[in-house]
Amino acid sequence: MQAQIEEFLRFVVVEKGYSSHTVSAYRNDLTQFLSYLAGEGVFSWQDVGRERIRSHVLYLKQRGYAPSTVGRKVAAVKSFFHFLVADGVLGDDPTVLVDSPSVDRHLPHPLSLEEVARLLAEPARSNTPKGLRDRALLELMYATGMRASEVIQLDVGAVDLKDETVRCLGKGNRERILPIHERARGALETYLESGRPRLLHGRRETALFVNRRGYPLTRQGLWLIVKEYATAVGIEQDVTPHTLRHSFATHMLDGGAGLRELQQLLGHTNISSTQIYTKVSTRRKREAYDKAHPRA
């Protein structure tokens, strides 16, 4: 059971872009939940039902935790079971009908345009196979706003350089065709012609992005690549693959993109997930106003 928790924590770092503080809170909350289950004689996630979840909520309340703390702990458990279902470990989610106190949703923290420019320029300083791959990888992520899991699942056939599009398979196996700009297309073309063949070392592989041994890039590998370049260019905030998705969404809205169009590009089933970026865009405009206006 602990192994699934560790896999989930890696997932929220790479896929969701959560901060080290949030991940630490998730670890503590899930470890506490695991200890509670052990005390109840439950040693398999398949044996955790809805009533067991509800009894855990009652246990937390009886221990005197504040409603906001209970809400956070239950939210962690809910997120974890969503992950187990999505990952195929469980067929049904026992937390679906379990209520919990509301928890404030933190706004994403995108990079500035200048920070994105520095980040994308760094791998272009090298013409090694790795440099060509990383340039294409970062350019594509910022050009499309794809999730980390979507990027590493891409096959070579998903890219259409002529039409400047990429075919992406998102959550629920929903496919979407995403446009890419000229710079991203050029980076991908160079990688496919000069970088990827040298990384393969003669291996036959369909994955678009491969590691130095010619095997498909993993979530952890992608996370390390982004971290490497963010550190190299001196970006102080915690940068993950999901940070590029946040940056893409915020910059698209800043540039005049419509909310419905952005929803389709991001692959959100519910527009409320997309609307959070309007709050980020408004916050950034307010910060710029307060900084620039002579009477602010």
Catalytic (active site) residue 268: yes
Is residue 198 within 8 A of residue 204, CB to CB? The reply is no
Ramachandran quadrant class, 202 (left: phi over 0; alpha: psi -120 to 50; beta: rest): left
* Marked catalytic residue, from 72, 242, 246, 251: 242
* Marked catalytic residue, from 10, 50, 82, 268: 268
* Marked catalytic residue, from 26, 142, 191, 277: 277
Catalytic (active site) residue 147: yes
Catalytic (active site) residue 16: no
Catalytic (active site) residue 171: yes
* Marked catalytic residue, from 135, 219, 245, 246: 245
* Marked catalytic residue, from 73, 133, 135, 147: 147
* Marked catalytic residue, from 171, 174, 181, 283: 171
Catalytic (active site) residue 277: yes
Q: Is the dihedral of CA 285, 290, 291, 294 positive or negative?
A: positive
Active site residues: 147, 171, 242, 245, 268, 277
